[in-house]
Structure 1
Amino acid sequence: MNRTKKTIGIIFLVLGVMALALVIFIQNLKPDYKGKKELNGISESVSVYFDTYGIPHIYASNELDAIRSLGYVHAQDRLWQMELLRRIGSGGLSEVFGEDLVGTDKFFLSLGIDDASAESVISLDTNSKVYQLAEAYLDGVNQFIEKGQTPIEFYLTGLQKKPFQIKDVYNTVGYMAFSFAMAHKTDPLLTNIKDKLGMPYLVDLEVGVDANTEWIKNYKRKTSDSIQNRVVTLLENSLKDLPFPQFIGSNSWVIAPEKTKNNKVILANDPHIGFAQPSVWYEAHLSTPTYEKYGYHMAGIPFPLLGHDRKLAYGLTMFENDDVDFYYEETNPLDSTLYKTKEGWEKYQVFNKTIKVKDGKDVSFTFKKTKHGPILNGIADQVKGQRPIAMSWIYTKVENKVMDAVYGMSHSKSLNEFQAALPDIHAPGLNIMYGDAEGNVAWWASAKLYELPDTTNTKFIMDGSSGKQEISHYLDFKENPQAINPPWNYVYSANNQPDSIAGMLYPGYYLPENRAKRIVQLLEPKNDWDMAAIQNMLLDVTSSVDTAIALDLIESMDISQLSQDKSTLLSLLRQWDGSYSLKMVEGTVYNRWVYFFLKNALEDELGEEMFQQLLETHMIKRSIAPLAAKTTSVWWDNIRTKDRIETKEEIVKLAFEEAITSLKADLGVDTTQWTWDKVHTLEHGHPIGKVASLRSFFNVGPFSVIGSREVINNMEFSFDNSGFYKVSSGPSTRRIIDFSDIENSMSILPTGQSGNPFSPHYEDQAEMFIHGEFRKMMMNEEDIKNTSKNLLIFKAK
């Protein structure tokens, strides 16, 4: 008996020691939000006050000390995110996640982001303030890598921490630039549709510019063959497994004093980015005697992409201009090392790259490049064929001065200084939104725009050998779309088509007018905007376009032939105001009906694979409304029925019947239970959350969520045959800067400030975000010091 007790005692002792060791291990993984630390390179002590939500307020005697401290605290909350972001452009994901990401690494290496970054670094002025601040930030990051806690993801993947270099910053910017582009999903697909079906099918989808849509108005101050589909597959496969979200769309509006209650400018912005954990933005407030900024930082980038101070504020949306073009190249039939150009035969450039693979052998591969860009054939096994396709991307074509632009924006003190920084943005194309304490409001579409011959349609793969479809010249920045202090007293962007200054259309992949139309509808009549009204507007979930589409579909239905429950549903849709709240059924029925309408109209001609690819593009969003309004279309006929030609009425009726049948199968026969909360959900996924046993620990959610795609509170999803709408992207922050009360400006993040799952700030804003709540962006030094419970002091060594 005594031996048994002794054995049990030893077991409990061992378990206790193991539990204690685990607690100590976990405690050592948490970020340090208080205490004192030595930080090499600072001239005097720096105080970092962490507010209620873990946002650092950094007080330093100079900007170099402040940004070095920012690098440290940014890394302790987001090092894993920094690590993944720098790896995308350099082809380093397979080293972390194994052979499944080899195709993605091949694709991004062939794009030339890493090579372009290396070239940019060589030409940097090491004496410039931009360079010195960037190096100070990276020094802070690297000091955390050397001295700080190792994030748990590094233990789980077996990855070793390595110092960051300035090239990593450029690789991160390069991924961001490519993430904005939509041409890679669209151009090869449209070419395939044209070659397979003919232009009338694209005409009926209205893929061109719509002169009747809601355009952003300018205002100047008076001063092929099957290979194409394989290209689409390559691009989709390369992007779908990325462990970091892509940039999608955005809303922003800036209201002049004449339309606000307190006669001061108000700026609102909610960039739409793929939801993930951690979320994209890291908030930080830096204050020195000569510089102050409350900014939103991407992991590994020293300067904020969104920011404000007491003098000015700025935000961004995606311009959606076309900065990616595809070219057919012609290989010399007698010498495969040569390709045809207008000037004659030129040699393909050949590049050899090696990818490190976790738990596997290194993968070496070779790709060719023309003057246009990399040849996509051969980058992945599925892209075969004799007709080479090159991808031309403006990001790698011209000098990269994006970092100078971001620095200039974050250090400007006036509208003119701010505007002077914008021509340095060449890619990605951004709508830059601006407001200031002096009462100025402005919008600039910032990108390196270029002109092609008039007969060129950049939505299709072009001829690379003739020299007739090349860039003729780059536009001067003054020809970019823009509006500065327009007489209608506001500026806005919802990724919609901008009006022209240069006397030409700007090719792009603009979003439909849905959000733009709603923004203008709300902004135009009201002249007493305040913080509360702007909050409500950011949370608006109403679509007047969806109601118009629903009515077009209903008009094609013979209600007399329907059962009572189906007639009731149509009556609900006829009276629907287009809102997407959780307990309404109209949105559920509408979206299921639209999916089957598109499927029955398009899939027989396109085939299942191309149909699904089309659903992933911005273009299909613009096509739904005009297609639903058409009485005649080449798409109505089902090519699988050889003996008859179908009508729109048949397509619409069949789609409605299939929608109702599928809803009954999924949600039951009681139509009152078909509420939006049952089908529309949001989960913030962490890369390691893909492992089922770790999902609940790393992922945040799922939550039922209001909103839908292309309403102001844009909760984006793709249609598929599941009938359930898992939100993929949406507001990466909701942010309001009111110059009548700058210190009480408001914001929210989708999950939390920290990417460390052991931090109390990993998901402390998630419920607030879902419920439409906001929190203060603190700038008052006295309030910050009086309310912050955590103080971290960096001491000069």
Structure 2
Amino acid sequence: MVLIFKWLLRLTGGAILLALLAVVGLYFLLSRSLPDYDKQLAVKGVSAPVEIVRDNANVPHIFGASDDDTFFGLGYAHAQDRLWQMVTLRRTVQGRLSEVFGPRTIDIDKLMRRYGLYDLARRSVAAQDEATQQALRAYAAGVNARLTEINDGALGRGAPEMFLFNAPIAPWQPADSIAIIKLMAVQLSAHLENEVLYARTSLEVEDEARLADILPEAPGSGIAALPDYAALMPGAEGLRHAALPQKDQHPLSPFKKRAFAGASNAWAAAPARSASGGALLANDPHLGFTAPAIWYLARLDLQSGGVIGGTIPGLPVVMTGRSHDLGWGITSSYMDDQDVFIEKLNPDDPDEYLTPEGPKPFRTERTIIRIKDADPITLTLRWTDNGPVLPGSHYDLATITPSGHVAALSWTALTDADTTMTAGMRLMKSASVDEALAAGQLYVAPSQNLTLVDHDTIALKTIGAMPRRNAQHDTQGRMPARGWVRQNRWRGTSPYSANPEFIAPSGGVLGNTNNKTVDRPFPLHVSFVWGDTQRVHRWRRLMQTRAVHTRDSFIEAQLDTVSFTARSLLPLIGKDLWFTGEAAPEGTPDRQRQRALDLLSEWNGEMNEHMPEPLIYAAWLRALQDRLTRDDLGPLAREFRHPDPVFIERVYRDIDGASAWCDVRRSTRTETCTDIARLALDDALVWINETYGTALESLRWGDAHQATHDHPVLGEVPLLRYFVNIRQSTSGGDNTLLRGRTKGSGPDPFQNVHGAGFRGVYDFADPDSSVFITSTGQSGHFLSRHYDDMAQLWRRGEYIPMSLDPDLARAAAVGVTVLEPAAQ
């Protein structure tokens, strides 16, 4: 027995020792790729030493003897901290993810090959001006210098992920940077899905007035009634109730659902409305949360002056930030820059489609997709005059495409003369609002609202190519149109002067929360679908209640968590429920409902993470949306999971008979909107009781509203996910200025998955008092202390200084890298 015990002890000790050695060995391998920020390195491609000073937040301040040397330094810094992210973005737009990740990403690759964005990016290099081409070449050389250093120094393959998903890394090319801009356009575009959804809903909803309820236009003047989709598209009626099986979206997919297709806030105050006497600008672009965040902070010392702000790894431009003379911020414009065309096949030859001039053959090309651990597949790509032919599974296109037809996409990003990179480069070097506005003329896609300030004035301009449509267009771009009808086809793009602009407004304050900016008739309408109808009301109130603003008042607005939506909807949906009903015993559903209503009746609409009311309210609205739509829309109701405040308001104000949504058609009795509100509240409370318990006063919104900064690849790996994912309790909600867009589905529908990955506030009276923050940290290496060192600051609403003073950067630098010209 003693002998057995001794051997068991030895075996256990040996196993523990082996495990420890394995952990130490793994840590050694993974830590080899941690960047050394304090060194000198001889590199090819610079004309003079380049200095990269890392301040105490690990923001690189890059100083070069020329602009090209500075861009070289930015490329090197990006590759030091975010190589895996850059390579993954490039593989995504190339349609080559499956070479690394296997069959799970094959659908993404197929779609990206059909879009052909990478080939368009390669051809767009020649469309850039000479300075931009030089900057792209210098930036690529900086990335490749880091790749050479990794290979020569055996630096752990450059990133921890490379050990799990090892694949050769091709040298960076100028086209790669342009391709990433096009990939961002994919992530920010929702009009394709909106068109399909509009057509699907028109097939399901029998009463045309109800279509205006469930897919409401932003408040303002409406448009003429559209034709019925079934009447417009022969054979479409047979597609009614069609539904495709739902697939979980891969974390690497750039094809976001319409609820997550981009948002953002930006506002500016002229010197006359600023307490300091200098112009003010605040910007917080909204994208899906990831770890690391898409944003990377950097300062560039250019010949035109210093520039600092948010960059995207892979791009040699500051996308949102400031120089000494100019500040710029971006928000999604929601310009309708996509149209779906239903192309009719030639019945005598399926390799041809109909055009206004008669049958025409598809332009075709074959491409091979290589797949890890599987046989490669050959894909035949097809294009019509209107654009690439897309599969029926993409955003459920098959559900609105009759037999004998295919769907094609027109989109402004599908050009091989895309000068968006040149526009970004010129914007970054502009010294005034006028120069920046001129630079915006070359911007193509994704369309943005550009908010600008200089020392004297403020402006907002929609940039990006706006399709020029015929006034007689069948559907006005609201839903798919017949591709063989001449009047539906695009006629190029509108002149830059047609894009909305607001320069030096008399009130001295302007801004955008993705709200409707203009109310113009089609075809100069910009869009029928806008990203916000709610936040703008709260923003307007905060701006108008002060005669002058400060940096701190702009920060206060960025972090505001009061929901205008809650304040406006709760009195409507609960008007016949407040303080009514008989006394109910403890533990009964009636008593629980009364307690919930008592809490909500005293609530001011603040979506604070520590309060129970936001969770009760959010669960009630979600259940209400479901109750109102499920009976009428059937399976299609799953496309409307996020409560639409305009829809709910129309129903409860009975606008144009919208209260008809409250009646359950399949029941014998006639339900009222009060009945549905009460039933929805009971549904919400049952879900809350099962998920969080029955003690309503102890609920915390932040427990449900966790920000999910998840690693797109390693975030699903058992055990490892606890090291790479960043989860935080957060305030805010779908419709607050501190926007935290909820997931909307699954067992955790209120997870915060989409919001401000970057926040910046700039004061031009005291530029060095400007501040910024990102949602995670600078490094993409999960063993680095800079992987998540900004995360808690971001969660608490804190910022770090944004200074162009090199001495301040050096004062507390975490390292200084000097890139010296290598001997030839």
TM over 0.5: yes
Q: What is the aligned counterpart of 1:517 among 529, 537, 550?
A: 537
Change (3 A) 1:595 1:502: closer
Q: Which moved more, 1:427-436 or 1:494-503?
A: 494-503
User: What residue is the counterpart of 1:312 in the other structure?
Assistant: 326
2:753 corresponds, among 705, 728, 746, to 728
Kept in 2: contact 1:412–1:418 (CA 8 A): yes
1:590 matches 2:594: no
Change in Cα spacing, 1:378 to 1:15, as seen in structure 2 (3 Å) is closer
Deviation digits for residues 177-209 of structure 1 (CA, Å, limit 9, x no counterpart)? 111111122111110110222323212235224
- Matched to 2:143, the amino acid is V
* Matching of residues 283-682 of structure 1 within 5 Å: 283-288=297-302, 290-377=304-391, 385-397=403-415, 399-437=417-455, 439-455=456-472, 456-472=475-491, 474-500=493-519, 504-557=524-577, 559-561=579-581, 563-608=590-635, 610-615=636-641, 620=644, 622-630=646-654, 632-633=657-658, 634-641=660-667, 643-682=668-707
- 2:220–2:519 Cα contact (<8 Å) kept: no
Instruction: Confirm whether residue 204 of structure 1 aligns to residue 226 of structure 2.
Output: no
Distance 1:14 1:685, change over 3 A: closer
Are 2:389 and 2:406, in contact at CA under 8 Å, matched by a contact in 1? yes
Measured after TM superposition, the shift of residue 157 of structure 1 is 0.7
Q: 1:195 aligns with which of 203, 213, 221?
A: 203
Q: CA RMSD in A?
A: 2.9
Consecutive unaligned residues in structure 2, runs of 5 or more: 223-235, 583-589
Q: CA deviation at 1:645?
A: 3.5
**Given the superposition, is the C-alpha separation of residues 405 and 624 from structure 1 closer, same or farther in structure 2, using an over 3 Å criterion?**
farther
> Does the 8 A contact of 1:351 with 1:368 survive in 2?
yes
Distance 1:363 1:401 in 2: 33
Q: Give per-residue Cα distances to partners, 1:756-793, cap 9 Å, x unaligned.
A: 11222100011111111111113212222222141111
Following the alignment from structure 1 to structure 2, what is the Cα–Cα distance between the partners of residues 400 and 231?
36
One of 714, 723, 729 as aligned partner of 1:697: 723
Per-residue CA shift, 1:146-205, capped at 9, x if unaligned? 212321111111222221112211221111111111112211111011022232321223
1:243–1:207 Cα change, 3 Å:
closer
Match of residue 807, structure 2, among 768, 774, 782 = 782
Contact 1:46 1:58 in 2 (8 A): yes
Partner secondary structure for residue 486 of structure 2: coil
Deviation for aligned residue 1:50: 0.6
* Unaligned runs of at least 5 residues, structure 1: 214-223
Equivalent in 82, 93, 101 of residue 105 of structure 2: 101
Deviation per CA, 1:578-616, whole angstroms, max 9, x where unpaired? 1111222221111111111111110122223x2222336
- Give 3-state SS (helix, strand or coil) of 1:665's partner: helix
Letter in 2 for 1:318: S
Residue of structure 1 in register with 2:230 after alignment: none
Inter-partner Cα distance in structure 2 for 1:24 and 1:312: 45
In the alignment, which of 778, 788, 799 is matched to residue 753 of structure 1? 778
Q: Is the 8 A contact 1:189 1:614 kept in 2?
A: no
Inter-partner Cα distance in structure 1 for 2:242 and 2:419: 34
Give the conservation status (yes or no) of the 8 Å contact 2:128–2:419: no
- C-alpha change, 1:232 and 1:409, in structure 2 (3 Å) is farther
Residues of 1 paired with 2:240 and 2:143: CA distance?
Answer: 43
What is the match of residue 175 of structure 1?
183
- Which moved further from structure 2: 706-715 or 579-588? 579-588
For residue 121 of structure 1, what is the aligned residue in structure 2?
Answer: 125
- Structure 1 letter corresponding to 2:217: G
Name the residue aligned to 2:135.
133
Choose 382-391 or 704-713, whichever is displaced more. 382-391
Please give the alpha-carbon distance, in whole angstroms, between the structure 2 residues aligned to 1:738 and 1:122. Answer: 38
Contact 2:140/2:174 (CA < 8 Å) preserved in 1?
Answer: yes
CA drift of 1:501 comes to: 6.6
- Counterparts in 2 of 1:151 and 1:103: CA distance versus 1, 3 Å: same
**How much does 1:383 deviate?**
6.4
**Separation in 2, partners of 1:724, 1:708:** 12
Paired positions, count: 777
Deviation, structure 1 residue 542:
0.5
**Distance (Å, rounded) in 1 between the aligned partners of 2:146 and 2:42:** 11
Work out the CA distance in 2 between the residues paired with 1:301 and 1:123: 17
- Counterpart position of 1:217: none
Matches within 5 A, 1:273-284: 273-284=287-298
Q: Is the 8 A contact 1:205 1:627 kept in 2?
A: no
Moved more, 497-506 or 656-665: 497-506
SS in structure 1 at match of 2:720: helix
Q: What letter is aligned with 2:717?
A: V
**CA distances 1:525-565 after superposition (whole Å, capped 9, x unpaired):** 31232222222211100112222111110124375336444
The answer (yes or no) to whether the contact 2:244–2:396 under 8 Å persists in 1 is no
* Deviating more after overlay: 55-64 vs 281-290: 281-290
- Matched to 1:409, the amino acid is L
Aligned counterparts of 1:249 and 1:795: Cα–Cα separation in 2: 42
Identity %: 25
Match of residue 714 from structure 1: 739
**Paired position in structure 1 for 2:87:** 83
Q: Summarize the Cα distance change of 1:16–1:626 in structure 2 as closer, same or farther, 3 Å threshold.
A: closer
Label 1:79 to 1:675 Cα distance change in 2 as closer, same or farther (>3 A). Answer: same
Which residue matches 1:160?
Answer: 168
Distance 1:293 1:623, change over 3 A: same
Quick check: 1:272 aligned with 2:292? no
